[in-house]
Structure 1
Amino acid sequence: MKSSMLRCVLIAAALLLPAAAWADNEPAQARHLLSSLLEAVAAEDYQQFRALGTEDFQTGIPEEEFNRVTDVIAERVEQGYEADYLTHLNQQGYRVEIWKISFADGGDDTLARLVVFEGKAAGFLLQ
């Protein structure tokens, strides 16, 4: 009896371990930066958005492009969202953090790709 109960506990622990380990890999700095970028999008504040990025990031995103994105997504972000960390990719020497963004309006989800370099956004893409 004790051995079968112990076996069940060990199996349950083994099933939960990968999920717990996966959640621990979420980068706190990237989550904070993602939230700050989305706040700037919701506020439609181009200068705040640019300030969160590297020099290349700041010059690489023209205001017109930022405005096209905010026209589509700012209101949805403002209404509320949940960001679920999925994983990261190693691409061209950078670590790219991947997030699933679900919106409170119940509409389509968005995939967010965020590259962090020295505490700033080096790349940010919403798909």
Structure 2
Amino acid sequence: MMNQETPPQNVIDCLQIILDATVSNDYDLFTTVGNSSYKAGITKQMFEGVSEQIAPRMLEGYTTAYLGHLKQLHYQIYLWKLSFEDDGDEFVIRMTMDRDKVAGILIA
């Protein structure tokens, strides 16, 4: 049984790469953690739109808090809260894993 307190290290690593890529607006880095459907489903234009929206706030400082995971179909879905130093609106990060690759990411 998996511990709800922390996700597996590879999941944490994938999230950190996604967040680092978002801050630096680096689409190539962003795609390194994903499977083919992730790469096909998130275009460079979509990625840049999200990056432009939240990277300035992330550069001021941010934290993530793990909320838990759930299973849907054959995927594991991990949830985090994304908070910013500016004390403004927070987001939920929903990351879908297909074995050791990211199948989808939503920051909303």
TM-score normalised by L of structure 1: 0.76
Displaced runs of 4 or more, over 6 A:
none
Q: 1:22 to 1:118 in 2, by over 3 A?
A: closer
Q: What's the Cα RMSD here? A: 1.5
Q: CA contact under 8 A between 2:18 and 2:30: conserved in structure 1?
A: yes
**Overall identity of the aligned pairs, in %:** 33
Q: Which has the higher strand share?
A: 2
Deviations 1:40-86 (A, max 9, x none): 00000111111221111111111111111111111122222111111
2:96 aligns with one of 115, 118, 123: 115
Between the two structures, name the one with larger relative contact order (CA 8 Å, sep ≥ 6): 2
The structure having more radius of gyration, on CA atoms, is 1
In 2, Cα distance between the equivalents of 1:68 and 1:26? 28
The count of residues paired between Structure 1 and Structure 2 equals 106
Long gaps (5+) in structure 1: 1-20
2:31 aligns with one of 46, 50, 55: 50
Tell me if 1:96 matches 2:88.
no
Q: Which has the higher helix share?
A: 1
TM-score normalised by L of structure 2: 0.88
Alignment match, 1:8: none
